[in-house]
Amino acid sequence: MTRTVVRVAEVRQEAAGIRALRLVRDDGAPLGPYEAGAHVDVVGPTGLVRQYSLCSPPHEPSSLLIAVKKEAASRGGSAALHTVQAGDTLEIGEPRNLLRIADAARHVLVAGGVGVTPLLSLAYELDRRGAEFELHYFARAREQAAFADLVAAEFGARLHFGVPRAEQPTLLKEVAADLPPDARVYTCGPEGFMAQVGAVFAPVVGAERVHVEHFVAAEIDTSGDRPFTVELDTGEVFAVPADKSILTVLGENGIEVFSSCEEGICGSCVSGVLEGEPDHRDNCLSAADRAAGDQMALCVSRAKTPRLKIELY
Ligand code: FES
């Protein structure tokens, strides 16, 4: 995996428990542009790798911005990034994108808490294109809402602070009622929040037009897992037992696959499917990608057929 050493040029307290880090290259070379919606692996001071959305303007090449929420259950990833100071160095991976802007007459961005970060880059890009869009930002309180003033001033975002989870669907239904059927919805936030957003908007625009960005792996029931065979496009064949992933089996056989989270959320291990039917267990592919059946996340997804033929990207 290609990594780039970057220097922390600025640290800003964006909201309670959320720091924004501006990253630059020491040699002055550009870090961007990047595709709106993208995220990067960040190797923190403890060596742990975490994924963070890029939230600077995507077309601005000189620096990248990430926002780090200090997680209560941090095992050293986000907590360590809350100790870095301006001038410190970090390593980042290449931007990867699972939340691309797709064609639509109107775009609705629905953020929950720090989930605003990938949507901020979408807003910059939609604004640059002159596209029709609206941004709704839910958070417990203003002091916990990173970039709230920015999105309100730049994009006229509607700020919904302190709205109880049970009351949010009523508000969202008012937004959905005005949408043309070819609108698209993009959401990022806690899993339950995104499930509510999907439940409101999918009946209006179709589930394939509701795009979600996950940061937490789904709970997976592995009790019924069965062994299967995986064949590479090079002709090599491997047995995948019930208790191991394709990624693990390939690694044990000396075949290096680009990977990061190993939980089905970052998309870095996604590879092509040439034959057979995958059993998708990830949170990174869209509903349309899954339905196409021509790619899968090797770290968590399995096979519905006795054999899969795949090609590594
Ligand atoms: S390694 Fe992150 S999705 Fe597989």
pLDDT digits (tens, 9 = 90+) for 210-243: 999 887 655 566 778 899 999 999 999 999 999 8
Mutation choice for ligand 1 from 39, 266, 280, CB with most ligand atoms inside 8 A = 266
Q: How far apart are CA 28 and CA 2, in angstroms?
A: 19
Tally the C-alpha atoms within 13 A of residue 52's C-alpha that lie toward its C-beta. Answer: 29
Q: Where are the domains of the chain?
A: 3-97, 107-213, 228-311
Distance 272 CA to ligand 1 centre (A): 14
Flag whether pLDDT at 92 surpasses 70: yes
* Cα-based distances in Å from 292 to 138, 213, 285, 289, 295: 33, 19, 10, 5, 8
CB atoms within 10 A of CB 307: 13
pLDDT band at 186 (very low <50, low <70, confident <90, very high): very high
Flag whether pLDDT at 149 surpasses 60: yes
Flag whether pLDDT at 80 surpasses 60: yes
- The predicted-structure confidence for 270-285, as pLDDT tens digits, reads as follows 999 999 999 999 888 8
Name every residue whose Cβ is closer than 8 Å to that of residue 104 and which is 6 or more positions away in sequence: 182, 183, 184, 209
**Across the chain, which distance is largest between two alpha carbons, in Å?**
56
User: What is the architecture of the domain spanning 107-213?
Assistant: 3-Layer(aba) Sandwich (3.40)
User: From the alpha carbon of 266, which atom of ligand 1 is closest?
Assistant: 2
Which two three-digit tokens encode residue 173? Answer: 């239904």
Distance 154 CA to ligand 1 centre (A): 34
Nearest CA to ligand 1 atom 3: 264
Predicted pLDDT of residue 205: 95
pLDDT > 90 in the chain, percent = 73
Which two three-digit tokens encode residue 279? Answer: 């059993």
| Residue of 211, 119, 196, 204 lying closest to 163 (CA atoms) | 196
User: From the alpha carbon of 264, which atom of ligand 1 is closest?
Assistant: 3
Q: How far apart are CA 255 and CA 204, in angstroms?
A: 44
Which two three-digit tokens encode residue 7? Answer: 């220097």
Q: How far apart are CA 184 and CA 209, in angstroms?
A: 5
User: From the alpha carbon of 298, which atom of ligand 1 is closest?
Assistant: 4
User: What is the architecture of the domain spanning 3-97?
Assistant: Beta Barrel (2.40)
Distance 63 CA to ligand 1 centre (A): 26
User: From the alpha carbon of 300, which atom of ligand 1 is closest?
Assistant: 4
CB atoms within 10 A of CB 161: 14
Higher pLDDT, 191 or 222: 191
Predicted pLDDT of residue 217: 57
* Sheet with strand 210-213: strands edge to edge: 158-161, 133-139, 107-112, 184-188, 210-213
Distance 263 CA to ligand 1 centre (A): 6
Mutation choice for ligand 1 from 50, 215, 216, 261, CB with most ligand atoms inside 8 A = 261
- The predicted-structure confidence for 24-68, as pLDDT tens digits, reads as follows 998 889 998 999 999 998 988 888 888 899 999 999 989 999 999
Q: Are 225 and 243 in contact (CB under 8 A)?
A: yes
Report the pLDDT averaged over residues 160-182: 94
Pocket around ligand 1 at a 6 A CB cut-off: 259-262, 264-269, 282, 284, 297, 299
- Give the H/E segment covering residue 306: none
Distance 96 CA to ligand 1 centre (A): 12
Predicted pLDDT of residue 218: 56
Q: Are 296 and 280 in contact (CB under 8 A)?
A: yes
- Tell me 219's DSSP state: P
Mutation choice for ligand 1 from 96, 263, 281, 312, CB with most ligand atoms inside 8 A = 263
Q: How far apart are CA 194 and CA 188, in angstroms?
A: 6
Q: How far apart are CA 13 and CA 38, in angstroms?
A: 22
Flag whether pLDDT at 157 surpasses 60: yes
Distance 215 CA to ligand 1 centre (A): 11
Which two three-digit tokens encode residue 156? Answer: 């006229």
Q: Are 55 and 66 in contact (CB under 8 A)?
A: yes
Phi, psi dihedrals of residue 95, rounded to the nearest 5°? -60, 140
> What CATH code is assigned to 228-311?
3.10.20.30
Distance 79 CA to ligand 1 centre (A): 22
- The predicted-structure confidence for 248-261, as pLDDT tens digits, reads as follows 999 999 998 988 88
